[in-house]
Amino acid sequence: MEVSEVLFFNYRRGAKTVYEGIDALLQKLPLSEVVNKGDLVAIKAHMGELGNVTHVRPGIVREVVGAVKTAGGRPFVTDTTTLYPEARWTAMEYLQTAAANGFTGESMGAPIIIADGLLGYDGTQRSVSKRVDGCDLNEVEVAQAIVESDAMVAVSHAKGHDLTGFGGAIKNLGMGCLTKRGKATIHGVSVGEIDLGKCTGCGKCVESCVYGAMRLEEGKACRDVEKCVGCNWCLFACPNEAIKLPDGAKERFQLYLAHGAMTVLEKFGGRVCFINVVQDVTPLCDCATHAGNPVVADVGILASLDPVAIDKASLDLIDRAELVPGVLAEEGPDRLGRINRVDSTIQMCAAEKLGVGKLKYQIIEI
């Protein structure tokens, strides 16, 4: 088929509740072709940073859990720890944050398992089978609970992202399914550069770096590249804007992200389906405590077997959606990319070249 099908539950149409809409999407997909009886099924969802209130609602994930059970699978809700030392830094802290955000074993009707273990280093190195120009990635470390699952449902929030412009299914796979080491291999291509002319030697970046990669040398910041994992926490900590992303960092990051997504998908041999929730479309991602006010009116929920098609369809629907009053948006496509100063489609084009999916899609409204 030249185009991939993307099913669309449009919030503007029909009298269905959101839960009925999700069930209808998964029946039409159909989920039963991805999930076999007795399968361990990872429901991969970002459960939000502590203080973020625009992440995917727990009720939506719970409905997916129910559908997987109906299809005969054994679901668990999962995500991975962060590279930076915030409220999802270890599995223990992540579970506490998830509970604060409404995600518990009881509310989900399934266990919550942090896929990369207590500290975020439990995983398996998997070879990157092919590459597009500009990427020299050989391996990425995939979180162990993802590796050990039989099938996966990736529930992604369609929203903005500082590095990728738009973040959806490709981001959920290519970053969200990796261990800390895996994340570091991808984030490592977008590390902020130190402008010594602006550096006052205040030491805030040194305090911020839990990897011990920053020090002061002759009153100026100095990075140990061997220890640095590319989390860019020092960039955010610098009060003087002396650490800045180098030219091309956001573009490179997206290219590598697509390779991460391909590597995760290959493990499943096609037994993954994707749900994109296009609501609370904030300029920044769910890792941000405040991701900004939504840019457009809530759109609906999409489902597909193709992560590229579902992301492109989400991006296009966001472009066509009504702007929230007061939002100033530049003219032209890729609203979220324009807000974040990068072309969001780089990740999608690279993923298509890698055979992850197709940019051309057909929307089928349910």
Nearer residue to ligand SF4 within complex by CB, 166 or 211: 211
- When the beta carbons of 41 and 209 are compared against ligand SF4, the nearer one is 209
Choose, by CB under 6 A, the member of 137, 214, 262, 348 that binds ligand SF4.
214
Long-range contacts of 197-204 (CB under 8 A, 24+ apart): 198/240, 198/241, 198/242, 199/240, 199/242, 200/240, 200/242, 202/239, 202/240, 204/237, 204/238, 204/239
243 counts as binding ligand SF4 under rule CB under 6 A: yes
**# binding residues, ligand SF4 (CB under 6 A):** 28
- Residue ranges of alpha helices (H) inside the chain are 18-28, 58-70, 91-100, 105-108, 144-147, 169-174, 180-187, 204-208, 233-237, 249-268, 307-320, 335-339, 345-353
202 binds ligand SF4 per the rule CB under 6 A: yes
Query: In the bound complex, what is the minimum distance in angstroms from residue 94's beta carbon to ligand SF4?
Result: 19
CB 250, min distance to ligand SF4, A: 15
Chain residues 222-241 in contact with ligand SF4, contact rule CB under 6 A: 223, 228-234, 237-238, 240
Distance of closest approach, residue 66 Cβ to ligand SF4, in angstroms: 39
Query: Count of CB atoms within 10 A of residue 153's CB?
Result: 29
Residue in 95, 154, 191, 287 binding ligand SF4, rule: CB under 6 A: 191
| 51 contributes a contact to ligand SF4 by CB under 6 A | no
Question: Smaller CB distance to ligand SF4: residue 179 or 314?
Answer: 179
The contact set with ligand SF4 (CB under 6 A) reads 191, 194, 199-205, 208-209, 211, 213-214, 221, 223, 228-234, 237-238, 240, 242-243
